[in-house]
Amino acid sequence: MSLSFPPNVLTGHNAEADIRCFRHGRMRWPKSKTVGTMFMSRLRIAMCVLAGLGSFAIAVALLLPTLVYDRLAVTPLDIAATTVATTADGAGGEVLDSKTISGPGPLSIATDVPLILQRYITVEDPSDADRVTFQVGATVRRADRDGDEGLLTASVDRVTSDRRTGLPVEPAGSLQTTVDSPAISLPRTGLQHRFPFDTQPITYTVYDATAWTSFEANFVEELTMEGLPIYHFRSIVSEADLSTTTQSPINSVTLPASKWGLGDGDEPITMKRWYSNVRDIYVEPRSGSLVWGKETPYQYFARDPKIPEVTIFKASLALDETGRLEQIASARDAANSLAWLTSRGPLLGYAIGGACLVGAVSAGVIGFRRARSPEPTHRHADEAERASV
C-alpha cells in the first residue's frame, strides 16, 4: 500500500521512521488551522468593535442631556425679526390728541382708532458665549393716518441678558424715546424678550417697558398651538403710578378745570399719569421662546387712580397671525433640536449602545464555546488515517 503525504510532512533524513510513526498513531495528520483561526480572529474583531461602539453610544447618551445640552441650549446670536401687533377690526383703541394739551379748548380723545405696534429686534454688541444684547426699535402708529401724522410713540430699547436664563446682566439696559435726546441708562430686573430654557409652570418676574419696572407673570394653563405644547402666563398691572418709575413731562400735569373737561372754571387741577395692563404671554417651554402675546394697555390721567378721568391711551393689541405662525415655526425648530439633546438622542444612544454590547457579549460566548469544543473533523481524520494504514 502506498501512502501519499502532504508536502513537508516526512522528514528527508528518515522517511521510514516517519511512516511507522503514522502507522502507530504517534504522529498525527497535520491539522488545518486556516478556517478556524480566521473565524476566531474575525469574531474577536467583531466583539471589540461592538463593545467599542456600544460604549461610545452610551457615553454620548450620557453627555447629551448634560454637557452638550449646557453648551447648545443658549439664545442664538443671529436674531433679526420684526413683529407686528394690531387692534382687531372694528375694535380700535382710544388715543388722546396730544396737540390739544397746549391748544385751545378741552382735551380731545379719538375713539375707535386702528393701531399698529411694530417691533424690530436685533442682536448687538456686547454679545458673547454667555450674554446677548437685544436692541428693539418700537413704534406705535395710527393706521388711519400717514407718515409722521400717524406716529404716536417711538423708542429704542437695549438690554443685555444671560443666554441661558434670559435674565438681565451687566451692562445696564438703556432707553431712548426722542431723536434729539441720548439714551438714558435703565437698569432692570425680570424677563423681557424670552423665558429661560426648560420653562416651568410657575410664577416668573417680567419687565414692563411702559412702566420701566417688573411685575409677576403667573402661570395660567398649558395648551397647544399648531400641535405645539405651550405655557400661558398672565401679568396684571393695576393702578401703577408712572411718575414713580418713569421720566416723562406728562407724568404729572396741571391744567385748568375747563381743559380737563371739568366745567367752565379756570381752577388749576393736577392729575397724574396712571397705568394698568393685562399681558398674556405664550411660551414654548423647551426653548423659552415667546410664540404669541396680547395685552390691554391703559394709560389715563386721574386724581384718584381708582377713578380714571381722561384717557391717554387704551387699546387691545395682539400679535398678528403672520407673526404668530412665524414664531411658532421658529419655536418648533428649537424645541425639536433640544428634544434630541434631552430625550430622543439619549434614548437612541442607549438603544444602540445596549444592542452593540449585547452583540459583543454574544460574540464572546460563541468564541468561548468554540474554543472549548473538540474538533471532530481532526479526530475523524486521524482515525481514518490509522484505518487506511
What would the pLDDT profile of 239-271 be if each residue is shown by its tens digit? 999 999 999 999 999 999 999 999 888 999 999
Q: At 347, which helix (H) or strand (E)?
A: helix 345-372
pLDDT level of residue 12 (50, 70, 90 thresholds): very low
- 128 and 68 in a single domain? The answer is no
- In terms of C-beta distances under 8 Å and separation of at least 24 residues, what long-range contacts does 180-184 make, across chains too? 183/156, 183/158, 184/247
- 115 and 229 in a single domain? The answer is yes
- 213 and 234 in a single domain? The answer is yes
**Assign residue 146 a region: left if phi > 0, alpha if psi is -120 to 50, beta otherwise?**
beta
Q: Which amino acid is at 180?
A: D
Residue 41 is predicted with a pLDDT of 76
Share the mean pLDDT of the chain: 85
- 148 and 181 in a single domain? The answer is yes
Q: What is the pLDDT of residues 71-130, one digit of tens each?
A: 778 999 999 999 999 999 999 999 999 888 888 889 999 999 999 999 999 999 999 999
314 belongs to a structural domain: yes
- In terms of C-beta distances under 8 Å and separation of at least 24 residues, what long-range contacts does 372-378 make, across chains too? 375/31, 375/36, 378/28, 378/29, 378/31
Lowest mean pLDDT among 35-39, 182-186, 285-289, 374-378: 374-378
DSSP assigned state of 253: E
CA distance linking residue 192 with residue 212, whole number of Å = 11
CA distance linking residue 107 with residue 370, whole number of Å = 100
> How many structural domains is the chain composed of?
2
Report in angstroms the alpha-carbon separations of 381 from 2, 29, 35, 65, 293.
18, 7, 16, 60, 86
What is the extent of the structural domain holding 165?
73-319
> What mean pLDDT comes out for the span 272-290?
98
Q: Are 170 and 179 in contact (CB under 8 A)?
A: no
- 168 and 52 in a single domain? The answer is no
Q: Is the pLDDT of residue 7 over 50?
A: no
Alpha carbon distance, N-terminus to C-terminus of the chain: 8
Tell me the torsion sign for CA atoms 299, 302, 304, 306: negative
Q: What is the pLDDT of residues 299-349, one digit of tens each?
A: 999 999 999 999 999 999 999 999 999 999 999 999 998 877 666 667 766
93 belongs to a structural domain: yes
Q: At 291, which helix (H) or strand (E)?
A: strand 289-295
Q: Counting every residue, how long is the chain?
A: 389
CA distance linking residue 51 with residue 88, whole number of Å = 63
- 140 and 67 in a single domain? The answer is no
Q: Is the peptide bond before 308 cis (omega within 30 degrees of 0)?
A: no
- 166 and 258 in a single domain? The answer is yes
- Looking up cell 439696559 gives 173
Q: Are 274 and 308 in contact (CB under 8 A)?
A: yes
Tell me the torsion sign for CA atoms 209, 215, 219, 289: positive
304 belongs to a structural domain: yes
Report which of 56, 51, 47 is spatially closest to residue 350, judged by C-alpha positions. Answer: 56
pLDDT level of residue 6 (50, 70, 90 thresholds): very low
370 belongs to a structural domain: yes
Q: What pTM does this model have?
A: 0.77
Three cell numbers, residue 99: 396737540
Choose one of 319, 348, 381: the last residue of a domain: 319
- 179 and 271 in a single domain? The answer is yes
Residue 351 is predicted with a pLDDT of 80
- 162 and 263 in a single domain? The answer is yes
200 belongs to a structural domain: yes
Residue 362 is predicted with a pLDDT of 76
- 229 and 284 in a single domain? The answer is yes
324 belongs to a structural domain: no
Backbone phi, psi, residue 330, to 5° = -65, -40
CA distance linking residue 215 with residue 206, whole number of Å = 6
Q: Is the pLDDT of residue 1 over 70?
A: no
Residue 25 is predicted with a pLDDT of 52
- 198 and 114 in a single domain? The answer is yes
Q: Are 281 and 324 in contact (CB under 8 A)?
A: no
23 belongs to a structural domain: no
> What mean pLDDT comes out for the span 192-221?
98
278 belongs to a structural domain: yes
